[in-house]
Chains A and B, each alone.
Chain A
Amino acid sequence: MNPNLKTTLKYLLLAAVFVYPLFSFANEYVLHVMVLIMIYMVLAMGLNIIPGFCGLLDLGYVGFYGIGAYTAGLLTIHFGLSFWVIVPLAALNGAIWGVLLGAPTLRLTGDYFAIVTFGFSELVVLFLTNEIWLTRGPLGLPGIDPVIIDFSWLSTLIHPQWDWYWEFIGPQPYFYLGLFLVALVYVIMGRMEDSRLGRAWFAIREDSIAASSCGVNLLTYKVIGFAISAAIGAVAGAFLARWTMFLSPDMFKFWESFLILCMVVLGGLGNFKGSLVGAAILIALGEVLRIILPALNLPTETRFLAYGMIMVLMMRFKPMGFFPAIATQSRKNPILIKLKKDLGSS
């Protein structure tokens, strides 16, 4: 296909997705799934830092997601804080736990790290289930306020009749808020990947001895990566809390970690753009299987059979994912493109 046409089609498709919620025929269920996809896009991009950039297996990502969600939920219920204050606080709380967990364990080999993160996320779920005084345990945390944009203090200053106060009702506003979050995390990831930080992570992943010889402090950079990844997970959790307006410990079981990891693997380790595609594919697949499986008389949990198989096959045949990040930059290099054209025509 003509590359120009391909790009145009890509942008047209994106634009169609952007304006879809504005139409009256927009289906509420489809919008719901799209918002869910965006939450998982944020999570998958955040998780990609650890196995993708640093080359360490993180099996407990959902722990930070849960911490972020409950931080947001509890702060909303008890203190009525605004969403815009809660997101940084949740991110901070996630990052603090990331440092607390990462600093002692990241000096060990990667295998130990994998299992410690797993244990940590299980402990988070146990804590959320059992500390009923704080989290209401298995009953869950209902009645979290939706997101509110409140500029009434500003509008009354300008004009007493104006009231800039919006409460998010229905899926449309959440769709655009989710889009904003995905875009924000996307930009941050892009900047980090090309920064000193990102290069240090890649160096650690490729050869930690060489990286260390070149003056990269392994522990510091790994802990920074883990903290940033945890913070992104917590942000996704905060969004989830204010979107579903209900939290329960069951939402943060190990399965979720596995699902997010599967998205990262499908999209390609170390390729955060691929994570977006991975998230979209797996959530859509999950929704389809949710309809097909009961028709076949199987419990819906068995969809993880497919996810397990995907991971094994990906690692066996396409360890860099379907969208490998390698050398895309050089392929776009105009000199190379021209050279290829010249060689092809001759």
Chain B
Amino acid sequence: MFEQQLINGLTLGMIYALIAVGYTMVYGVIQLINFAHGEIFMLSAFLAVTFITVFGLPIYVVIVLTMGCCALIGVMLDIFAYRPLRQSPRLAALITAIGMSIFLQNLAMIIWGSRPKPFVQDALPAFLRTTALTVGDANISWLQMSIFGTASMLMIALFLIINKTRVGTAMRALSQNRTGAALMGINVNRVISFTFALGSAMGAVAGIMVAIYYNTLYPTMGYVAGVKAFAAAVLGGIGSVPGAMIGGIVLGIAEALGAGYISSLYRDGIAYAVMIAVIIFRPSGILGKSTVEKV
């Protein structure tokens, strides 16, 4: 029982971590909570299903294609919604973000309908549902294994992009001092767009994974998952990419264990409670810098 919950929590946590890095990177670069990030996660699940059913593409191609599409949506979101408000007060950008989130959610509802849909099972390799290995009482399916594998791979890739490439260096420079970075010849807007693209692509993979894992997709899925991922980002320390990864995993395990041992009715509440507690008692999170207003 305990091992099984732990494994389930870990799977969930990996997915949360993938979404959380999108929040945390955008926050690090432009200090904005991109509420619409959860919606990109939702759109990716619907786009994937559409690609499979309408064009009959194989799942591996679909994943790459969806990542590309979502990256594009993320960039467009930045260009059309957030870029005009760069010099406005924080409140204006936040309200725009929440407005975009609601807009995209309802757009999906109009295009794909509001009822939950199952994922296209025929498109998946059959072995995913079989058990890969058994540890104690816990069964780990190939699906869970592939989620671990893909998520870990993406995390490592992200880590390398941020720490070893030119554009990653530019992103880190931007998060430290935007004006300074601009004076050093960094094209600020292009780097911000790249950050949105990177975060959205990560979120896209998470969206497809969730749709396959729970075998369901619906237009409001981005809203709950988005807030939980944000809670993970806060838990890890917002603005810190490794923090978001750790926060996601911790939150996933806490949620699975809490639902199993405390009360499954408050399953969603655990994430909110953890988030509020972290914000009240340790707002800088596990790995973050202190963000208390020093006014």
Contact = CB atoms under 8 A, between A and B. Distances in A.
Given A212-B295, A298-B110, A119 B276 contact: yes
B85 A316 contact: yes
4 closest pairs, A vs B, by CB? A311-B99, A308-B103, A308-B102, A305-B106
B88 interface: yes
B137 interface: no
B156 interface: no
A141 B288 CA distance: 44
Interface in A175-217: 208-209, 212
Nearest to A122: B272
A309 B98 CA distance: 10
A55 B109 contact: no
Interface string A248-276: 00000010001001100100010000000
Contacts of A308: 99-106
B293 A120 contact: no
A38 interface: no
Given A55-B91, A119-B227, A315 B96 contact: yes
Nearest to A257: B98
Nearest to B219: A301
A168 B149 CA distance: 64
Interface string B262-295: 0101101100110110011001000000011101
B136 interface: no
A216 to B, nearest CB: 10
A54 B295 CA distance: 15
A301 B96 contact: no
Interface residues on A, range: 35 or more
A316 B96 contact: yes
A166 interface: no
A304 interface: yes
18 contacts: A51-B91, A57-B95, A114-B94, A115-B33, A115-B230, A115-B275, A118-B227, A129-B265, A212-B295, A254-B223, A261-B95, A302-B110, A305-B109, A309-B99, A311-B98, A311-B102, A312-B103, A315-B95
Interface stretch (A101-109, A232-240, A326-334): A101-109
Contacts of B223: 254
B185 interface: no
A288 interface: no
Contact of A305 (B103, B230, B280): B103
Contacts of A269: 91
From A115, A254, A307, name the one whose CB has the most chain B CB atoms within 10 angstroms. Answer: A115
Interface residues on B, range: 35 or more
A127 B81 CA distance: 35
From B92, B107, B291, B293, name the one whose CB has the most chain A CB atoms within 10 angstroms. Answer: B293
B234 interface: yes
Given A51-B95, A57-B94, A312-B100, 19 more contacts: A57-B91, A110-B94, A111-B33, A115-B279, A119-B227, A119-B231, A120-B272, A126-B269, A129-B265, A130-B265, A130-B266, A261-B98, A301-B109, A304-B106, A305-B109, A308-B105, A312-B103, A315-B93, A315-B96
Contacts of B276: 105, 116, 119-120, 123
Contact of B293 (A109, A301, A307): A109
Nearest to A313: B99
Contacts of A258: 98, 102
A156 B146 CA distance: 80
A59 interface: yes
Interface of A: 51, 55-57, 59, 104-105, 107-112, 114-116, 118-120, 122-123, 126, 129-130, 208-209, 212, 218, 254, 258, 261-262, 265, 269, 298-299, 301-302, 304-305, 307-312, 315-316, 319
Contacts of B295: 208-209, 212, 218
B279 A299 contact: no
A269 B95 CA distance: 11
Interface in B62-85: 81, 84-85
Nearest to A319: B92
Interface of B: 27, 31-33, 81, 84-85, 88-96, 98-107, 109-110, 113-114, 223, 227, 230-231, 234, 263, 265-266, 268-269, 272-273, 275-276, 279-280, 283, 291-293, 295
B269 A123 contact: yes
A201 to B, nearest CB: 14
Nearest to B31: A111
Nearest to B233: A115
Contacts of A307: 99, 102
B85 A108 contact: no
Nearest to B101: A308
A111 B90 contact: yes
Contacts of B103: 305, 308-309, 312
B95 A123 contact: no
A101 B282 CA distance: 15
A67 to B, nearest CB: 16
Contact of B84 (A56, A110, A116, A316): A316
A116 B283 CA distance: 11
Contacts of B291: 108-109, 112
B117 to A, nearest CB: 15
Nearest to A316: B84
Contact of A265 (B81, B95, B100): B95
Nearest to B272: A119
A110 B275 contact: no
Contacts of A105: 276, 279-280
Contacts of B107: 305
A123 to B, nearest CB: 5
A110 B96 contact: no
B106 A122 contact: no
Given A115-B230, A119-B231, A316-B96, A304 B102 contact: yes
Nearest to A213: B295
